[in-house]
Amino acid sequence: MSELVAITRQVSPGINQCELTHLQRQPIDLQRAQSQHHEYEQALRSLGVDVVSLEAAPDLPDSVFVEDVAIVLDECAIITRPGADSRKPEMEPIAKTLSPFRKLLFIQAPGTVDGGDVLTVGKHIYVGLSSRSNQSAIEQIQSFLAPFGYQVRGVDVTGCLHLKSAVTQIGDNLLLVNPAWVRKDDFPGMQFIEIDPFEPYAANAVLVDDKIIYPSAFPLTRKNLETAGIKLVTVDASELAKAEGAVTCCSLIFKK
């Protein structure tokens, strides 16, 4: 039996009404997006992850991006209170799904935070100060997690929607980073692989054990990763990228 479980949610038929902050709206091919999401779930399964796939929500355009609604740690799960009002109805079904696995804690107003702004590396939690996440939420997260020994730090983000658009973990103390969008100095003690500057959105990857799930759209950065000995499982996420989504956005992965 796998030690890891991933919660995913099928692509909403209303995804063309998704929230957009930094990208211009382009038509999203629903059938192709659904096919790519299925490929993503299969990639998780190929890495030994048990996938809990929730039904699509036609009235919640962004609901495929389950990462934004929760922060799941070994000790508890925090339901986030997303920064976009249209996404707050996503909280209840994810809380219901997580409740058998973890004690739940809830961010309260005026706090807002998207899970895409939260990078956990061991006992260090970095929270992007973005258009979706604020200082009140950071203070609440610190209060929740201090008894468990976590250190929570706010990180300035520029040029992109979420912190994990700019930096993700790809190994022990190893981060994949776009230094134009986030400062490496905000991650003391970390090592880095920089994205190719011609691929600004290439810093988002899903770490599963010693491998990463990585978009096929960034061949230059992928070559750098392979040269560094990183093991990759590539997926096509091009349709979901039009909704400002990336590979981390589409799952909540945690130990059972």
Name the catalytic one among 18, 37, 160, 162: 162
Strand order in the sheet with 104-106: 70-72, 77-79, 104-106
**Cα-Cα-Cα-Cα dihedral of 169, 173, 174, 179, to 10°?**
80
Identify whether the C-beta of residue 244 lies closer than 8 Å to the C-beta of residue 18: yes
In the residue annotation, 160 being an active-site residue is answered as no
Residue 79 has φ and ψ, to the nearest 5°, of -85, 130
Name the catalytic one among 18, 160, 249, 250: 249
- Side chain identity at 197, as an amino acid letter? P
Residue 141, CA atoms < 13 Å, CB-side half-sphere: 35
What number of other Cβ atoms are within 10 A of residue 229's Cβ? 7
Task: Compute the Cα dihedral for 192, 249, 255, 129 and give only its sign.
Answer: positive
Which residues have a Cβ under 8 Å from the Cβ of 179 and sit 6 or more positions away?
194
In the residue annotation, 18 being an active-site residue is answered as no
The verdict on whether omega for the bond into residue 13 sits within 30 degrees of 0, i.e. cis, is no
Point out the residues that are catalytic.
162, 249
